[in-house]
Amino acid sequence: MRDQESRIRRHFLTGVLALLFLASASIVSAPVAAAGDDDEEHHERAVHEIIEKYNIEIKYDYIAMLMRLPNAYGEGAACVLCHNSTDPKRSPRGLDLSTCQGIKNGPTDEHTKDFIKPGNGKGSLIRRYLRNNRMPLGVRFDTPTDLPAIKLVKKWIDDGAKNDEVFRDKILPSFRSPTAYGGEQSCIECHMSNQEPPSFHELDLTSYTGLMLGADAIAKAKEGKPPVKVVIPGDSSASKIYQRLVENRMPAGISPSENRDHPNLTVLLRWVDQGAKCD
């Protein structure tokens, strides 16, 4: 009798666990379905097909709207809330996004050019700022950009990015540290080999060879292209690995889970592609 009862209990427990698994699976997928993922893709593609078919001109009038709209590029503040003056003391980077000329001029502090490259959305810095997540993923906006590990990476790159003692004894271990860059996970948790999956962007931060090979080696090879270099020896500011450690994605504090290819960003870049005209 006891045996049978315990068997039944075991059956029941298995059932309960199975149910909970099923229930949680449904729950996880439910909001996605509710948000109409496919529909969203559908309406985005539909609009962009029309824009291409008619070669529709994106007007500055519309860009002005996007700059003033809360949540325009994902959940976050409107651009002009903070970027509304060319005075770097009153507006971050002295970037004024409230006028067309202000957008085109970009930041007025010293260290930026090509914020907008008319005719070249992909090559414009505004794309990088609105799209690239600071690493490690989820690191807080107010995390200092001059953490010891970050400064070390910068100096090492500017000194020539050699496979030297600094790299082996300091840099490589920092890629393994969950906290060296201010976040809660190490670089190598996501970038551990030149294969994706499991390694994001086919980037291997476990060795000098992997780092210097760069990102997306296999994917780019299929297109007959070289890998994407992430270290430019001698030039930290041009090195993607350094950019990702110090540049917060805008708007401030936006969740890295927000769509990097937000339809409004696509529209903004199309306006740049079309010449970033102000009239």
CB 159 to a second copy: min, Å: 32
Peptide bond connecting 251 to the previous residue in cis, omega within 30 degrees of 0: yes
The DSSP secondary-structure symbol of 134 reads P
Give 146's contacts (C-beta < 8 A, 6+ positions apart). none
Question: CB neighbours (10 Å) of residue 230?
Answer: 21
Q: Minimum distance between the CB of residue 67 and a second copy, rounded to whole angstroms?
A: 10
Q: Among 6, 119, 123, 141, which residue interacts with a second copy (rule: CB under 8 A)?
A: 141
Q: What is the dihedral of CA 265, 271, 276, 279, to 10 degrees?
A: -120
Q: How far is the CB of 177 from a second copy (least distance, A)?
A: 23
Q: What part of residues 4-23 is at the interface with a second copy (CB under 8 A)?
A: 4-5, 8-9, 11-12, 15-16, 18-20, 22-23
Footprint of a second copy on residues 218-257 (CB under 8 A)?
A: 251-255, 257
Q: Rule CB under 8 A: which of 142-181 touch a second copy?
A: 142
Among 10, 122, 140, 151, binds a second copy (CB under 8 A): 140
SS3 (DSSP) at 72:
strand
3-state secondary structure of 182: coil
Interaction of residue 57 with a second copy, rule CB under 8 A: yes
Span 92-121, contacts to a second copy by CB under 8 A: 92, 98
Tell me: does residue 51 bind a second copy (CB under 8 A): yes
247 neighbors 93 (Cβ within 8 angstroms) = no
Give the Cβ contact number of residue 10 at 10 Å: 10
Stretch that binds a second copy, among 36-44, 149-157, 189-197, 231-239 (CB under 8 A): 36-44
Q: Quote the least distance from Cβ 29 to a second copy, whole Å.
A: 9
Binder of a second copy out of 60, 81, 100, 120 (CB under 8 A) = 81
To 5 degrees, how large is the angle CA 151–CA 108–CA 62? 115
In the Cβ-directed half-sphere of 227, how many Cα atoms lie within 13 Å?
21
Q: Which is nearer to a second copy, 139 or 215 (CB)?
A: 139
